[in-house]
Amino acid sequence: NGGKNCVGALSESASCGTNPCPVNGNYGNWGAWSRCTKTCGSGTQKRNRACNNPAPKYGGKACVGKSSETRFCNTKRCPVNGGWSAFGNYGPCNNKCGGGIQKKMRYCSNPTPKYGGKGCPGLNTMIRTCNLHKCPVDGGYSSWGAFSRCSKSCGGGTRSRTRSCTNPTPKYGGRSCSRLGASRETQRCGTGACPIPWSGYKTARVCEHHTMHLNCGSGGRVYIHSATYGRKSRSYCGNIFWYSTNCRSGSSHHHVVARCNNRQSCSVTATNSIFGDPCWGTVKYLEVT
């Protein structure tokens, strides 16, 4: 209709939404693990991370997830060093007398070393002396001594010999020699018949290497009063070898009595093989009464 156009802009703009946009938080990298709380036997260690990559702003959301984490560490067993138990009682002495030793023990079991732990220091044994008293010495006999002279020369006598408890002498409570038998021994001797007193003794002689024959006839008996093998006179069995006129075999009487006493007859040879040689080089004779 011929009207005028509108004056001015058909539209206008105005600023809006000028507030900063929200920034959601995000975690940064994890930090290093902390030192383990134990050197052995299973400890723990921890690490952290910060909510700064970026930090939440302008109403942005916080970081999602944990800001720290924990893990086990040094899980190997800890070494256990050994420890001694108490000492036990002393054992028996190894000798009953004369000095011995006895021991007592302890053990590395309180606790027993494990997992590379150290052993127990020191010794596991204690030793002491024991039974220091002298050992008993049982008595022992010496050799037998010589027999004493016979109490009778005929008709039955006795003779004795002794031994002493000195080999060794009993000491320190040792046993006496009585367990080994008697200390004195007696035996019979002089068992030959004693001569009957009679004035009719006769003396017979034979030279060396000759045999003497004695015979009392029927009902008679020979009784030897004395017998000498040797030489005490130059009157018999003459010879240039008269080196000694005072020698006598100590066994003369014994040998003749053994062969002749209480017999009707007997024979005795005058020889060194029976009586021994009382004077070497001298011609001897046997004289019997």
| Gyration radius of the chain over CA positions | 66
pLDDT of amino acid 242: 60
Q: Which residue has the tokens 């004493």?
A: 148
Report field, pTM of the whole predicted structure over 0.85? no
pLDDT of amino acid 121: 95
pLDDT of amino acid 14: 78
Hey, CA dihedral for 225, 230, 233, 237, is it positive or negative? positive
Which fold, 204-288?
Jelly Rolls (2.60.120)
pLDDT of amino acid 25: 94
**DSSP label at residue 155:** S
Architecture of domain 80-135: Single Sheet (2.20)
The answer to whether the 80-135 and 139-192 domains have the same CATH topology is: yes
Q: What number does CATH give the domain 139-192? A: 2.20.100.10
Spans of all domains in the chain: 80-135, 139-192, 204-288
d(CA 151, CA 44): 113
Q: For every one of its 289 residues, what pLDDT tens digit does the chain have, with 9 covering 90 and above?
A: 677 777 877 788 877 777 889 999 999 999 999 999 999 999 999 999 999 999 999 999 999 999 999 999 999 999 999 999 999 999 999 999 999 999 999 999 999 999 999 999 999 999 999 999 999 999 999 999 999 999 988 878 999 999 999 999 999 999 999 999 999 999 999 887 666 555 567 899 999 999 999 988 877 788 888 999 998 888 888 765 566 778 899 999 999 999 998 888 999 999 999 999 998 888 899 999 8
Written as one string, the DSSP assignment of 31-54 is -PPPPPS-SSS-EEEEEE--S-TT
pLDDT of amino acid 6: 79
Q: Which residue has the tokens 């916080």?
A: 62
b/e 115-132 (16+ beta carbons within 10 angstroms → b): eeeeebeeeeeeeeebbe
pLDDT of amino acid 199: 57
CB atoms within 10 A of CB 231: 25
pLDDT of amino acid 17: 72
Closest CA to 92 of 83, 102, 84, 100: 102
What is the SS3 assignment for 242? coil
